[in-house]
Amino acid sequence: MSVQTATTTAPIPVPTEADLEFDRQVDALALTGLPALLEVKDECFRAMLEPLRDLLPPVPQPSAEAAATIPFVVVVPEAPAGMLLSAAHAEGGEGFTTLADDDLARFRPLPELVVPGGPYLLLDVDTGPDSLGVPPAAALPSISGAGRSPLTIAEGLALLVTEPGVLRSRNCFSLLGSRAGDKRVPALWVSNRRPRLGWCWQGAPHTWLGTASCGGRRAA
């Protein structure tokens, strides 16, 4: 007499909203040409970012409060600015900068920021609508006082690539986390209907420009 044993099949995990958003952002980064630049296959590039999935914050239910910030942005810090800008498209064409390569290279993350050296998650991103019309230098104390951190150029471009319409749907913003040792602050805005990376004076207010910040950075 044979005895049959019941077999059970493990349930297939259902992707969460955070998983789906993570996949969408990784797709956007892969399409910029980053895998080829890093000299890895597309699947290896995705595998390199996969450990970040375990660190994803939950995507909140739709509400006015939740819509004020972006839960997370996947950042690959070694991605060249020019490559990300050319991958960011708007009504007038792809993104651009008038900064020379050597000048752009002078902008480095502020030493007090704890910026991971490899891929990481930028958390609770705010493009700074409350700081519209406030000079970047004057906005910094409020950002720091709230336990937040200003965004770097790499982080702003990662946001632009994964949310191409962010400059229209939200607002243009300064990237106060990157400085070149002078009074300039890099910023992203729309010029001739195209995304543009440029700079503004740290003490100059602009009604159309806020100062972007994040709640933290999380690396695998």
pLDDT in tens, the chain (220 residues): 555 555 566 667 788 999 999 999 999 999 999 999 999 999 999 999 999 999 999 887 766 565 678 999 999 999 999 999 999 988 899 999 999 999 999 999 999 998 999 999 999 999 999 999 999 999 999 999 999 999 999 999 999 999 989 999 999 999 999 999 999 999 999 999 999 999 999 999 999 999 999 999 999 8
Closest CA to 176 of 191, 156, 205: 156
63-102 per-residue burial string, b: 16 or more CB within 10 A, e: under 16: eeeeeebbbbbbbbbebbbbebbbbbebeeeebbbebeee
- Confidence at residue 15, expressed as pLDDT on a 0 to 100 scale: 85
The mean of the pLDDT values for the chain is 92
Which helix (H) or strand (E) segment is 90 a member of? strand 89-90
- Confidence at residue 33, expressed as pLDDT on a 0 to 100 scale: 94
- Confidence at residue 2, expressed as pLDDT on a 0 to 100 scale: 55
**In contact, 187 and 175? CB cutoff 8 Å:** yes
Q: How many helices (H) and strands (E) does the chain have?
A: 8, 14
- Confidence at residue 10, expressed as pLDDT on a 0 to 100 scale: 62
Cα separation, 87 vs 80, in Å, equals 11
What confidence tens digit (pLDDT) does each residue in 131-146 have? 999 999 999 999 999 9
- Confidence at residue 1, expressed as pLDDT on a 0 to 100 scale: 53
Can you give the pTM of this predicted structure?
Answer: 0.91
DSSP state of 14: P
* 216: helix, strand or coil: strand
- Confidence at residue 51, expressed as pLDDT on a 0 to 100 scale: 97
- Confidence at residue 45, expressed as pLDDT on a 0 to 100 scale: 96
What are 104's two structure tokens? 């752009």
